[in-house]
Chains A and B, each alone.
Chain A
Amino acid sequence: MTAAVRVLVVDDDAAIRDLVEIVLAGGGYEVRTAEDGAAALELVREVRPDLILLDMRMPVMDGWTFARRYRQQPDSSAPIIVLTAARDAAARSEEIVADGYLAKPFNVTELLALVGQHTQSA
């Protein structure tokens, strides 16, 4: 059996973390969650994700800072998808040169589709 695709979900809202976890777990993904950028950085040292879903506005360390720091690390090739409630989600995505974005509130189906799309090669 192939190893499950690992997805890292970074968001400060507990309900959203739970939602995404439940949905992706139901889709057969292995999900890890972190509540802010700092916790996320710790986690990626341990577990190398195949995809990162990243909220932008978080306390302690926000999405921008995480993205910068993550990319400075060696071996940081996972694609990043921006999760954002901002009006211009595309702009947020471009700000960190992400691989995609998902605007809140999003469709569960949409979520699964996007994750599937970016983890094909895994």
Chain B
Amino acid sequence: MAGEQRPRLGPQLRETLTRITEDAARLLGVEGAGLRLVDGEELVRVATYGPADAVMLRERLRLGESLSGRVAAAGRPLILGDSDDDPTRDPVYRGRAQLHGFRSWLGVPLRDRERVIGVLVMQSRAERRFRADDVRLLEAFAGQAAVAIENAQLLERERERRRQLEAVREVTVRLAGATDLPALLRLISRLATELLAVPSVAVFLWDEVTSTLVPRAWHGFGEWFGELRVGLGEGVAGVVALRRVGMIVDDYRSIPFAQPTVLERSGARAVLAEPLLYEGELRGVIIASLQEPGRTFTEQDRQLFGLFAAQAAIAIEHARLHLARDRALAEAEAARRRLDELVASVPGVVWEASGRPDAGQQRIDFVSEHVEAMLGYSVAEWLATPNFWLSIVHPEDQERAAQEAAEIFAGRRPGTSEFRWLAKDGRARWVEARSAVLCDEFGQPVGMRGVTLDTTDRKRAEWTQRFLAEAGAVLASSLDYEATIQRAADLVVPTLADWCTVFLLTEGGQTQRVAVAYADETKAELAQTLRGYPPSPNSPRGSVAEAMRTGQAVLSPEIPADYLENIAQDARHLEIMRGLAFRSSLTVPLRVRGEVLGALALFRCEASRRYDQVDLALAEDLAHRVAVAIDNARLYREAQRAIRQREEFLSIAAHELKTPITSLRGFAQVLLRQFDGKPARDQGVVRRALEVIEQQSDRLARLVSQLLDTSRLEAGRLVLDRQPTDLARLVREATARVQVNINHHTIGVEAPAEALAVVDPLRLEQVLTNLIDNAVKYSPSGGRIEVELVRAGEELLRLIVRDRGLGIGPEERARIFDRFYQAHGSDHRSGLGLGLYISRQIVELHGGSIAAEFPPDGGTRFVISLPAGPIRAAAPRAPARSS
């Protein structure tokens, strides 16, 4: 940028000057001419005629320097007859002149009034060419030329100013559109460089906070420039800011308030500065500077710059206002968004309304979007309908809610009200409305504002706690089985359900409808008819079966339309179920200790009370307590039964023992009397007595033995004495022994020749004898009893005892191996009911099993399976008992 010359001579002016020079040369008839104009302390070559480097070698001369300089300084013409005449003449210049053959030189000053404005120079190849009349001629010409030059310069200046004004106008237009402040400032500095044709421009803005001028845009300075902070009075900018008037500095280096950094690094010489003022307020300073030595800013420059600065200041202000407005808008937007977000984050409905809350024309002015999520009604619906909030209050709560709201409104103090709203889908939600009252300038209430929170979950939780506590108390209050079940059903209705059925699994694996409770008395008849339709046990489609099978609750918030059709057993059944009008169902299995006892089926008929997950959780909790209560009642009942059984057994045992003792003792006494001779000895009597004594003591022994075995078994102290035994032989011999005492039955034996096993022979004989005795007992009309021993595999033997007697009824079959079991009622018994129990224990201690079968052609078939087990290689330890 340095060295770039400002074109100070417009083309027209230059042409004028050239013409003048030519005319002068022609006038005097010389070969070379030139014209210099004064510029400050220098003379500038502006036009030449002929070889310029001979006429005027140097472009600029200082006043007093060289020939032209002397003319201008003295203000008088000068003649040089011969180049050699003047020894002070520049040798280079002399050489040039000589080169071109110029020998004579004439220079006259151009004057504008008294001021020397230039020098006109003539050169000739002839020696001593110029005389006094040449001088007078040239002076006269010079006078006219001066005028012409002056006019031309004026014209030029005029043109220049017009051009500059135009430039400023143009600049203004370009500045007007800019609203982005940084871009605008850059534009301003760039336009300034173009306008003034300077390399460096800087725009400082005044910073209120730090009270300094801060450079905001610049051209022609390095990055270091941005670090500057200029205080009032510092440097050119600071002084201009202080004085609020523009300034021209010809040489920055010479001013006392120059800033050291700028001085060092910018190389600035001429500086032009203008304040940026808006309505008298200092906004900043704009500075233009040149590094070019010798060049300075003119007054014209300053005026131009001043106009520019004014326009720039306006543009800056506009941009600022624009920025401020944008910022304000952005802040308002941000504030609004923040408010929206706050409102949205409230877990309730934020609202504002005008008018009395219970009045028909009450209007909601604002309601937050949360209302849609909570109730399903859109914001638009809320705002459009007068008194909307009250219209969706649950009918039962409407009067109270309206009254409470009116009281708060009238009282003008904040208040709370609880009530239910009905959502669009019909469900009820409990809410708590916290309101404040809005009043006008006179203190009269005009509206309300507040937050309404959904408290359904909280209320439900509270209610659930109370319900379960109550349920617990009710269920624990009785151990009576039937009563407990009915109480369970009654607990559920009407709070948890409109209808409740309790299903239980019977011992046979059937599902039975055990208790029913319902709120609506008109359904009593339907309930009665329903008894005729026991639950279909294997129906996989019913939710009761599903719940019991999977052990998981089945929730149907809306019972599907075809469900009833699927599970109905016939048309009448379907009709009954339809008549019950169930809409929502919840079936929960009753489980305790990992076992499914049955199920609780709950039903609701109203749309507004559909079952949901919360209900399910409560029902499961309740079902658990019910199951435990039922289980307790059952266990209690069983305990009672066991106690009764034991008592019964004791009385039977006493009875059974006393009977043989009676005749045993009696006949002993009879014998003693025989020996005493009263009445007379009778052989028959003696014989009979001894017979009975023998029989009855044997019977007594057996009974006692059974009691002892049972006692040992219960204590886990029955021990087997196992030996390798030939079971076939054992069976044959034992059967033969028993047959001896049996008159009305025949016993057939089928056994292989030999069947070895490691068993306790005495105990097995006990078992076989017991089974045969039972067979005899259970076929009172005599008949055939079959005993069979077969091999059923490599290591398995089967012993079978079959009779064709009365058999055992299906209800009893599961219990025959129980202790104290007495078939055929307690009248017709003999024995303690321990035989089968002991037999089974003995068989199982051998590692085998015993089962009772009931063939279709009557009677009973006992099957004992015994593992044959490894036989010891050595000979049997003791032989089997010989008959």
List residues of A whose CB falls within 8 A of some B CB: 13, 15-16, 18-20, 22-23, 26-27, 57-59, 62, 85-87, 104-109
Contact = CB atoms under 8 A, between A and B. Distances in A.
B89 interface: no
Interface of A is mostly: loop
Main secondary structure of the interface of B (DSSP, over half): helix
Contact of B658 (A27, A104, A108): A104
Contacts of B828: 59
Contact of A85 (B662, B665, B679): B662
Given A26-B673, A108-B670, A15 B654 contact: no
Contacts of A20: 666
Interface stretch (B292-300, B434-442, B688-696): B688-696
Given A26-B679, A59-B827, A108-B670, A85 B659 contact: yes
Contacts of B654: 85-87
Contacts of A105: 658, 661-662, 664-666
B454 to A, nearest CB: 71
Interface of B: 651, 654-655, 658-667, 669-670, 673, 678-679, 685, 688-689, 692, 695-696, 826-828
Contact of A16 (B663, B678, B827): B663
Contacts of B670: 19, 22-23, 26, 108
A16 B699 CA distance: 14
A57 B826 CA distance: 9
25 contacts: A13-B662, A15-B660, A15-B695, A15-B696, A16-B663, A19-B662, A19-B663, A22-B688, A23-B666, A26-B670, A26-B679, A57-B827, A58-B827, A59-B827, A62-B827, A85-B654, A86-B651, A86-B655, A87-B651, A104-B658, A104-B661, A105-B661, A105-B666, A107-B669, A109-B669
B688 A108 contact: no
A107 B661 CA distance: 11
Given A104-B661, A109-B669, 13 more contacts: A16-B662, A18-B692, A19-B666, A19-B670, A23-B666, A23-B670, A26-B670, A26-B678, A57-B827, A59-B828, A85-B658, A104-B658, A105-B664
Contacts of B655: 57, 85-86
Contacts of A18: 663, 688, 692
Given A22-B670, A57-B827, A85-B658, A15 B663 contact: yes
A102 B660 CA distance: 16
Contacts of A23: 666, 670
A107 B670 CA distance: 10
Given A15-B695, A18-B692, A104 B827 contact: no
A112 B679 CA distance: 13
A35 to B, nearest CB: 12
B689 to A, nearest CB: 8
Nearest to A107: B669
A10 B287 CA distance: 149
A108 B663 contact: no
A6 to B, nearest CB: 18
A20 B651 CA distance: 24
B668 to A, nearest CB: 9
Nearest to A85: B658
A103 to B, nearest CB: 8
Nearest to A83: B662
Contacts of B689: 22
